Structure 1
Amino acid sequence: MELTLPQLLTILGMAAATYSTRIIAYLLLRGRDFSPDVKKLFELVPCCVMVSVVAPSFMTTSIPDLGGLAAALLVAARKNLLMSVASAVGVDALLTHLL
Protein backbone atom coordinates (compact mmCIF):
# COMPACT_ATOMS: atom_id res chain seq x y z
CA MET A 1 0.00 0.00 0.00
CA GLU A 2 1.37 3.35 -1.00
CA LEU A 3 0.74 6.54 0.96
CA THR A 4 -0.35 9.41 -1.28
CA LEU A 5 0.12 13.10 -0.57
CA PRO A 6 -3.60 13.73 0.15
CA GLN A 7 -3.62 10.80 2.59
CA LEU A 8 -0.50 12.08 4.33
CA LEU A 9 -1.94 15.60 4.57
CA THR A 10 -5.16 14.21 5.99
CA ILE A 11 -3.31 12.24 8.66
CA LEU A 12 -1.16 15.23 9.57
CA GLY A 13 -4.23 17.50 9.68
CA MET A 14 -6.09 15.14 11.99
CA ALA A 15 -3.03 14.84 14.23
CA ALA A 16 -2.69 18.64 14.36
CA ALA A 17 -6.39 19.05 15.20
CA THR A 18 -6.21 16.46 17.98
CA TYR A 19 -2.98 17.77 19.43
CA SER A 20 -4.03 21.43 19.22
CA THR A 21 -7.10 20.85 21.40
CA ARG A 22 -4.88 19.36 24.09
CA ILE A 23 -2.29 22.13 23.87
CA ILE A 24 -4.91 24.89 23.90
CA ALA A 25 -6.63 23.37 26.92
CA TYR A 26 -3.30 23.06 28.71
CA LEU A 27 -2.34 26.65 27.94
CA LEU A 28 -5.70 27.98 29.10
CA LEU A 29 -5.84 25.91 32.30
CA ARG A 30 -2.21 25.80 33.47
CA GLY A 31 -1.43 27.53 36.72
CA ARG A 32 -5.06 27.71 37.80
CA ASP A 33 -6.24 26.40 41.13
CA PHE A 34 -9.30 24.18 40.90
CA SER A 35 -11.65 23.06 43.62
CA PRO A 36 -11.61 19.39 44.64
CA ASP A 37 -14.93 18.88 42.83
CA VAL A 38 -13.53 20.19 39.55
CA LYS A 39 -10.39 18.07 39.95
CA LYS A 40 -12.58 14.99 40.46
CA LEU A 41 -14.55 15.91 37.34
CA PHE A 42 -11.32 16.10 35.31
CA GLU A 43 -10.38 12.64 36.58
CA LEU A 44 -13.74 11.22 35.47
CA VAL A 45 -13.69 12.65 31.94
CA PRO A 46 -11.80 9.69 30.38
CA CYS A 47 -14.37 7.29 31.85
CA CYS A 48 -17.23 9.38 30.49
CA VAL A 49 -15.68 9.31 27.03
CA MET A 50 -15.27 5.53 27.21
CA VAL A 51 -18.91 5.12 28.22
CA SER A 52 -20.02 7.21 25.25
CA VAL A 53 -17.99 4.95 22.96
CA VAL A 54 -19.14 1.70 24.55
CA ALA A 55 -22.80 2.58 25.19
CA PRO A 56 -23.99 1.89 21.62
CA SER A 57 -22.80 -1.70 22.07
CA PHE A 58 -25.68 -2.24 24.50
CA MET A 59 -28.07 -1.88 21.54
CA THR A 60 -26.47 -4.48 19.29
CA THR A 61 -27.44 -8.04 18.52
CA SER A 62 -23.92 -8.98 17.37
CA ILE A 63 -22.62 -11.88 19.47
CA PRO A 64 -18.94 -10.77 19.28
CA ASP A 65 -19.85 -7.21 20.32
CA LEU A 66 -21.98 -8.43 23.20
CA GLY A 67 -19.17 -10.77 24.29
CA GLY A 68 -16.70 -7.91 24.22
CA LEU A 69 -19.10 -5.75 26.20
CA ALA A 70 -19.54 -8.49 28.80
CA ALA A 71 -15.78 -8.90 29.08
CA ALA A 72 -15.32 -5.16 29.51
CA LEU A 73 -17.92 -5.01 32.28
CA LEU A 74 -16.47 -7.99 34.13
CA VAL A 75 -12.89 -6.76 33.96
CA ALA A 76 -13.84 -3.15 34.78
CA ALA A 77 -15.29 -4.31 38.08
CA ARG A 78 -11.88 -5.58 39.22
CA LYS A 79 -9.15 -4.03 37.06
CA ASN A 80 -8.27 -0.72 35.47
CA LEU A 81 -9.61 0.89 32.31
CA LEU A 82 -6.76 -0.31 30.10
CA MET A 83 -7.31 -3.96 31.04
CA SER A 84 -11.03 -3.54 30.47
CA VAL A 85 -10.53 -2.19 26.95
CA ALA A 86 -7.90 -4.80 26.11
CA SER A 87 -10.13 -7.65 27.25
CA ALA A 88 -13.12 -6.30 25.33
CA VAL A 89 -11.11 -6.00 22.12
CA GLY A 90 -9.58 -9.45 22.61
CA VAL A 91 -12.90 -11.20 23.26
CA ASP A 92 -14.57 -9.36 20.38
CA ALA A 93 -11.75 -10.32 18.00
CA LEU A 94 -11.76 -13.94 19.16
CA LEU A 95 -15.53 -14.29 18.80
CA THR A 96 -15.46 -12.60 15.41
CA HIS A 97 -12.82 -15.07 14.27
CA LEU A 98 -14.64 -18.10 15.67
CA LEU A 99 -18.11 -17.15 14.51
Structure 2
Amino acid sequence: MIHSSTVIAIAFIAATTYLTRILGYILLKNRTLTNKQRQIMEVVPGCVLISVIAPYFVKDNPADLLAMIITLIAASKFSLLPTVVISMLSAAVLRLVLV
Protein backbone atom coordinates (compact mmCIF):
# COMPACT_ATOMS: atom_id res chain seq x y z
CA MET A 1 0.00 0.00 0.00
CA ILE A 2 1.24 3.48 -0.79
CA HIS A 3 1.87 5.69 2.26
CA SER A 4 0.14 9.04 2.48
CA SER A 5 3.53 10.76 2.72
CA THR A 6 4.44 9.27 -0.66
CA VAL A 7 1.25 10.59 -2.24
CA ILE A 8 1.87 14.03 -0.71
CA ALA A 9 5.46 14.01 -2.00
CA ILE A 10 4.28 13.06 -5.49
CA ALA A 11 1.70 15.86 -5.43
CA PHE A 12 4.33 18.42 -4.37
CA ILE A 13 6.76 17.22 -7.03
CA ALA A 14 4.08 17.45 -9.72
CA ALA A 15 3.03 20.91 -8.52
CA THR A 16 6.63 22.14 -8.44
CA THR A 17 7.27 20.82 -11.91
CA TYR A 18 4.10 22.37 -13.30
CA LEU A 19 4.71 25.71 -11.54
CA THR A 20 8.19 25.82 -13.05
CA ARG A 21 6.63 25.78 -16.51
CA ILE A 22 3.89 28.28 -15.71
CA LEU A 23 6.15 30.77 -13.93
CA GLY A 24 8.60 30.74 -16.80
CA TYR A 25 5.91 31.73 -19.24
CA ILE A 26 4.40 34.32 -16.89
CA LEU A 27 7.76 35.98 -16.24
CA LEU A 28 8.65 36.00 -19.94
CA LYS A 29 5.21 36.77 -21.40
CA ASN A 30 6.22 40.19 -22.79
CA ARG A 31 9.44 38.94 -24.39
CA THR A 32 9.93 37.41 -27.78
CA LEU A 33 11.81 34.14 -27.42
CA THR A 34 14.03 32.53 -30.01
CA ASN A 35 13.49 28.89 -30.94
CA LYS A 36 16.44 27.86 -28.76
CA GLN A 37 14.99 29.73 -25.77
CA ARG A 38 11.61 28.08 -26.31
CA GLN A 39 13.24 24.65 -26.39
CA ILE A 40 14.99 25.41 -23.12
CA MET A 41 11.70 26.51 -21.56
CA GLU A 42 10.17 23.19 -22.58
CA VAL A 43 12.80 21.08 -20.79
CA VAL A 44 13.07 23.04 -17.53
CA PRO A 45 10.17 21.21 -15.79
CA GLY A 46 11.68 17.87 -16.74
CA CYS A 47 14.98 18.96 -15.26
CA VAL A 48 13.24 19.81 -11.99
CA LEU A 49 11.55 16.41 -11.95
CA ILE A 50 14.79 14.56 -12.66
CA SER A 51 16.66 16.50 -9.98
CA VAL A 52 14.09 15.44 -7.41
CA ILE A 53 14.24 11.74 -8.26
CA ALA A 54 17.91 11.51 -9.27
CA PRO A 55 19.10 10.47 -5.78
CA TYR A 56 17.53 7.09 -6.45
CA PHE A 57 20.34 6.44 -8.92
CA VAL A 58 22.66 5.77 -6.00
CA LYS A 59 20.31 3.42 -4.21
CA ASP A 60 20.60 -0.32 -4.43
CA ASN A 61 16.89 -0.75 -5.10
CA PRO A 62 16.47 -2.26 -8.60
CA ALA A 63 12.81 -1.19 -8.81
CA ASP A 64 13.76 2.47 -8.45
CA LEU A 65 16.62 2.17 -10.91
CA LEU A 66 14.35 0.56 -13.52
CA ALA A 67 11.67 3.19 -12.90
CA MET A 68 14.28 5.90 -13.47
CA ILE A 69 15.29 4.33 -16.78
CA ILE A 70 11.65 4.10 -17.86
CA THR A 71 11.16 7.73 -16.87
CA LEU A 72 14.14 8.87 -18.92
CA ILE A 73 12.86 6.98 -21.96
CA ALA A 74 9.37 8.41 -21.50
CA ALA A 75 10.78 11.93 -21.13
CA SER A 76 12.57 11.59 -24.44
CA LYS A 77 9.38 10.57 -26.25
CA PHE A 78 6.46 12.29 -24.50
CA SER A 79 5.47 15.65 -23.03
CA LEU A 80 5.52 16.40 -19.30
CA LEU A 81 2.17 15.00 -18.14
CA PRO A 82 2.48 11.55 -19.77
CA THR A 83 6.06 11.33 -18.51
CA VAL A 84 5.00 12.05 -14.93
CA VAL A 85 2.17 9.51 -15.12
CA ILE A 86 4.42 6.86 -16.66
CA SER A 87 7.12 7.47 -14.06
CA MET A 88 4.71 7.21 -11.12
CA LEU A 89 3.02 4.10 -12.46
CA SER A 90 6.27 2.37 -13.33
CA ALA A 91 7.72 3.11 -9.90
CA ALA A 92 4.60 1.82 -8.15
CA VAL A 93 4.34 -1.36 -10.21
CA LEU A 94 8.04 -2.15 -10.08
CA ARG A 95 8.13 -1.62 -6.31
CA LEU A 96 5.23 -4.02 -5.89
CA VAL A 97 6.80 -6.63 -8.15
CA LEU A 98 10.47 -6.38 -7.21
CA VAL A 99 10.38 -5.50 -3.51
TM-score range (shorter-chain normalised) is: 0.5 to 0.7
Q: 2:31 is matched with which residue? A: 32
Over the aligned positions, Cα root-mean-square deviation in angstroms equals: 3.0
- CA distance 1:43–1:78, change in 2 (3 Å): closer
Cα deviation, 1:7-52, whole Å, max 9, x if unaligned, reads xxxxxxxxxxx7xx94xx72x5332233443333222212221221
Segments ≥4 residues shifted beyond 4 Å: none
Q: Which has the higher contact order (CA 8 A, sep 6+)?
A: 2
Question: With structure 2 as the length reference, what TM-score do the two structures score?
Answer: 0.54
State the 1:53 CA deviation. Answer: 2.0
d(CA) in 2 for partners of 1:64 and 1:73? Answer: 14
Q: 1:6 is matched with which residue? A: none
Question: With structure 1 as the length reference, what TM-score do the two structures score?
Answer: 0.54
Q: Does structure 1 retain, via aligned residues, the 8 Å contact 2:56–2:64? A: yes
Bigger radius of gyration among the two: 1
Q: Does structure 2 retain, via aligned residues, the 8 Å contact 1:71–1:84? A: no
**Please, which runs of 5 or more residues in structure 1 have no aligned partner?**
1-17
- CA distance 1:38–1:81, change in 2 (3 Å): closer
| Paired letter, 2:86 | S
Q: Does structure 2 retain, via aligned residues, the 8 Å contact 1:57–1:65? A: yes
Cα deviation, 1:45-77, whole Å, max 9, x if unaligned, reads 122212212322221111221121122133334
Q: 1:8 is matched with which residue? A: none
Q: 1:61 is matched with which residue? A: 60
Paired residues, what number? 78
| Percent identical | 29
Secondary structure at 2:77 match in 1: coil
Q: 1:93 is matched with which residue? A: 92
